[in-house]
Amino acid sequence: MPALKFVRSVWESFRASSGLEPRLLDGLRVTHAVPGRVKFELDIQKEHTNRLNILHGGTIASMVDLGGSLAVASRGLFATGVSTDLNVTYLSSGGKIGDLIKAEVSCDKFGKTMAFTSIQFKNAKDEVVARGSHTKYIALGHKDPKNITEELTPKTGKKE
């Protein structure tokens, strides 16, 4: 199974089982995935904004959390673990209703117990508007029978 199909299946599992993601991020689209890297985008709607009618920092923080999980999934874990640390740096407004925000997340280190991810958010002009990091405890996730970790181990020497 290619990484994109697997990551999308994990995203669908979040949408079916979680309380937050289907309410806040239902329109999120995973556009690209290879082992260790995922891209996704979201059309900003009213529910994503603050009282200034710009993208709410909490929406971005939620996407850092979800993005880290999807990056872990891109390495073949269906159960993507639990958060131990999450950080967001806001550089400028992420946009207003009707704008598109794009994200690219990487799984920087994937071990037996921990995974470390980083993410950048860009506006439609391709300007970085926020960045984040997400650390996950993944030890129990390695036991899930739906995993395809061997199939999605990055190949050395190949550029993505």
The answer as to whether 60 is a domain residue is: yes
Residue 157 pLDDT > 60:
no
Written as one letter, the residue type at 8 is R
Reported as a pLDDT band with limits 50, 70 and 90, residue 154 is: confident
pLDDT at 156: 65
Q: Per the domain annotation, does 131 fall within a domain?
A: yes
Q: Does 152 fall in a domain?
A: no
159 pLDDT band, cuts 50/70/90, is very low
Q: Over 90: is that where the pLDDT of 83 sits?
A: yes
Distance CA 156, CA 51 (A): 47
Give bridge partners of residue 132 from the DSSP assignment: 88, 119
pLDDT at position 128: 98
pTM as predicted? 0.93
Q: What percent of the chain has pLDDT over 70?
A: 96
Question: For the CA atoms of the chain, what is the radius of gyration?
Answer: 15
Q: Is residue 39 part of a domain?
A: yes
Residue 35 lies in a domain: yes
| Domain contains 130 | yes
pLDDT at position 153 is 85
Residue 86 has pLDDT above 80, yes or no: yes
Number of domains in the chain: 1
pLDDT digits (tens, 9 = 90+) for 40-80: 999 999 999 999 999 999 999 999 999 999 999 999 999 99
| Segments in the chain forming alpha helices (H) | 3-17, 21-24, 57-73
In a domain, 102, yes or no: yes
Tokens encoding 45: 């709607």
Instruction: Classify residue 11 by burial, with Cβ atoms within 10 Å: 0-12, 13-18, 19+.
Output: buried
CATH number of the domain where residue 113 is located: 3.10.129.10
**pLDDT (0 to 100) of residue 155:** 72
pLDDT at 150: 87
Per the model's pLDDT, the better-predicted residue between 7 and 158 turns out to be 7
Domain hosting residue 121, numbered range: 3-143
Mean pLDDT, the chain, integer: 94
157 within domain boundaries: no
68 contacts 117 by C-beta, under 8 angstroms:
yes
